[in-house]
Structure 1
Amino acid sequence: MENYSYNSFILQLEGFNIRTDYMYPVFSLLLISYILIMVLNLGLLVIIFVDKNLHQPMYLLLCNLSVSDIIGSTHILPHLLADILRPPSERLISYYECVVQAFTAQFFGTTSHTLLMIMAFDRYVAICYPLRYAAIMTNKMVIKLTVSAWGVAFFFVGILLGLTIRLNRCRTLIMNPYCDNASLFKLSCENVFINNVYGLAYTAALLISSIGSMVLTYAKITVVCLTSKNKSLNSKALKTCSTHLVAYLIMLISGFVIIILHRFPQYSEYIKLSAILFVIIPGILNPIIYGVQSKEIRKFLFEIFRSKICLSSFKR
């Protein structure tokens, strides 16, 4: 039964309803997923930082995507792992920590969209204006685009959470494995009409701008490829764009699954699972997809692997 407490600063997370015999397998699976996210994304950051050949706009923007995945997973998965091993009555979180977690979760999702939109613009310039690419995508432009990606997300998510924390709370149970904005304002017994309107407008604007920019960008790239007889250009476009498009579709489908399932409260456990997968799947697949596709990254890893083999052979 849900507890009622006016403006309590200690909240309870409902978490997953896991049978005792499944507790440790689920814990192990989530722990392995978190380790993979950290190793793959930190590894990608180190490779790009070390190899000067990768100091290009596309890879610098990719660094931002990896940082976003690290932030999103780190602020959610460790707390979730600890909660799995606790009984439901002990899955507690302070209100302030819950607000920060909700902000981070929303910020992570928004930043992923804005970064992928900017990466699409980068591919558009590289393919449609190859001779002007260096003049357009300067270091100054990359910094501006990066700051705008994080700044826009921070501004709009800040308003979203600001509307939520102004509300008085009369409940303490978070119906989710981690705190998010919707779970927070559902704790209030006040009128949340403004929150719903802004939340819907914010989501609609983000999705329309995100999907719209992708459709427009890829439509122009397709026209250029179809009218061009340059096989090298078309091959390059196919490789880079397919990688970016797969990463975007993974994030978009993961998000849509959550939105659709929220319309069916009877599937509450599936909603919780989809919310976790939204963090895990892109976080693991993004560095793998870009690492496999990138010739420069594959070359760097091959040289490291070859040098280790040569070193071990020399020691023998």
Structure 2
Amino acid sequence: MTSQNVSVRVSEFIIGGLDLVQRPIAVGVVILIVYLVAVVANIINILFIINDQKLHKPMYLLICNLAVVDIMYTSSASPTMIGVLVAGVKTISYVPCLIQMFAFQLGWVMEMFALAVMAFDRLLAVSCPFHYHSYLTNARTLVLTYFLWMVGCCFVAVLPATVIPLPHCYSVLKYAFCDYPAVIRTTCVDPNYYFNLVSIIIFFLLFFTFSFICLSYIGIIFFVKLSSHSDKKKMGSTCLSHLIVVTCYYFPVFVLVILTRLGVVLTLEERNGLNIGSILVPSLVNPFVYCFRTNEIKNKIVNIFKKSIHLNIIK
């Protein structure tokens, strides 16, 4: 940026990243529907797990944690985008913008941590089926989850810590909501230093979590080969749910983060599309994958519908 830029006191930002969207109301309604379905589905998963003592097991506690992460992740940005597209509310105050940025990035990081821990859980279940419940107890699962939330907060705290001291020269955000690149581009400083700083953190987290998941599945494949045919089928069904969730999350993230840093140029529409997809798709897919591919939760839903139909017939 040139020295001609004069810093201004920014009390609110204008979200300009969605100005070129054709048929904004239609797009906003679609986002609204997907958002509501995702939130309701995740809340239902959480309620099922909390209210059923039989589901108070490490795997289901991790599913519950993933549902909490998904709700926070999609709720951090979706209401703002819906407000811009449907209601035409394009402004957001400075402090809520920073809070949104922190919540979005924390959800982004915690999604990686949650998927990595779930891969470790599946590895333990496959490799040590007889000692699984003694190695990974409910208490240890809760402590591990709490620890990861603390670590996630520490990583993400770097972002507002680097933004708050900087002077701002612009009040228009180029992207669809208050994420870090959008906010840092409104400052009067050269953004490359801050982008490189955050890229180091992101690459570390992506490399660590994705490598951990891959290594876990290498171990799972090894132990599955040694198992009987019936055990292989059961293990494959259990791990497929996690693989679907991992793919839905990491694919857009790798395109957005890694390929763009390697020189791939995305238009504003392409970047916003990938951003929206990376927020909504995992949060929508995750609860349904675990509802329909986890027998205990699926059977519970079926029983509820059967009871509801039976009561309606009696009436």
Match of 1:83 in 2: 84
8 Å contact from structure 1 (residues 4, 172) kept in 2: no
Match of 1:108 in 2: 107
Report whether the alignment pairs 1:8 with 2:10.
Answer: yes
Deviations 1:65-109 (A, max 9, x none): 11111112222111211111355xx61111111111111111111
Shift of 1:261: 5.3
Bigger mean CA deviation after superposition, 243-252 or 76-85: 76-85
8 Å contact from structure 1 (residues 127, 221) kept in 2: yes
8 Å contact from structure 2 (residues 29, 86) kept in 1: no
Match of 1:235 in 2: 233
Shift of 1:26: 1.5
Q: Which amino acid aligns with 2:65?
A: N
Match of 1:200 in 2: 199
For structure 1, the residue ranges without an aligned partner over 5 or more in a row are: none
TM-score by length of 2: 0.92
Q: Which amino acid aligns with 2:241?
A: T
SS at 1:285 equivalent: helix
What is the distance in 1 between the residues matched to 2:129 and 2:309? 39
8 Å contact from structure 1 (residues 72, 279) kept in 2: yes
**For the structure 1 residues 94 and 255, does the alpha-carbon distance in structure 2 shift closer, same or farther, using more than 3 Å as the test?**
same
SS at 2:18 equivalent: coil
Q: Which amino acid aligns with 1:246?
A: I
Residue of structure 2 aligned with 1:256, choices 254, 257, 260:
254
Shift of 1:284: 0.6
**For the structure 1 residues 194 and 23, does the alpha-carbon distance in structure 2 shift closer, same or farther, using more than 3 Å as the test?**
closer
Q: Which amino acid aligns with 2:81?
A: L
Report whether the alignment pairs 1:99 with 2:98.
Answer: yes
Bigger mean CA deviation after superposition, 63-72 or 193-202: 193-202
RMSD: 1.9
**For the structure 1 residues 299 and 86, does the alpha-carbon distance in structure 2 shift closer, same or farther, using more than 3 Å as the test?**
closer
SS at 2:170 equivalent: coil
The 4+ residue runs of structure 1 with deviation greater than 3 A are: 191-194, 260-266
8 Å contact from structure 2 (residues 14, 91) kept in 1: yes
Report whether the alignment pairs 1:280 with 2:273.
Answer: no
Deviations 1:10-47 (A, max 9, x none): 21111313567x23321221111111111111111111
Match of 1:306 in 2: 306
8 Å contact from structure 2 (residues 15, 91) kept in 1: yes
Deviations 1:200-247 (A, max 9, x none): 11011111101110111111111111123x233222210111110110
Match of 2:154 in 1: 155
8 Å contact from structure 2 (residues 6, 188) kept in 1: no
Match of 2:243 in 1: 245
Deviations 1:107-128 (A, max 9, x none): 1110000011111111111110
8 Å contact from structure 2 (residues 119, 216) kept in 1: yes
- Percent identity between the two aligned chains: 27
SS at 1:287 equivalent: helix
Shift of 1:300: 0.5
Q: Which amino acid aligns with 1:175?
A: K
SS at 1:11 equivalent: strand
What is the distance in 2 between the residues matched to 1:294 and 1:145? 23
SS at 2:157 equivalent: helix
Shift of 1:267: 0.9
Report whether the alignment pairs 1:69 with 2:67.
Answer: no
For structure 2, the residue ranges without an aligned partner over 5 or more in a row are: none
What is the distance in 2 between the residues matched to 1:85 and 1:303? 38
SS at 1:130 equivalent: coil
8 Å contact from structure 1 (residues 15, 84) kept in 2: no
SS at 1:188 equivalent: coil
Shift of 1:149: 2.0
Bigger mean CA deviation after superposition, 280-289 or 182-191: 182-191
8 Å contact from structure 1 (residues 243, 293) kept in 2: yes
**For the structure 1 residues 72 and 301, does the alpha-carbon distance in structure 2 shift closer, same or farther, using more than 3 Å as the test?**
same
What is the distance in 2 between the residues matched to 1:218 and 1:265? 32
Shift of 1:265: 5.2
Deviations 1:183-208 (A, max 9, x none): 11111222445423321110111111
Shift of 1:5: 5.0
SS at 2:13 equivalent: strand
What is the distance in 2 between the residues matched to 1:199 and 1:248? 22
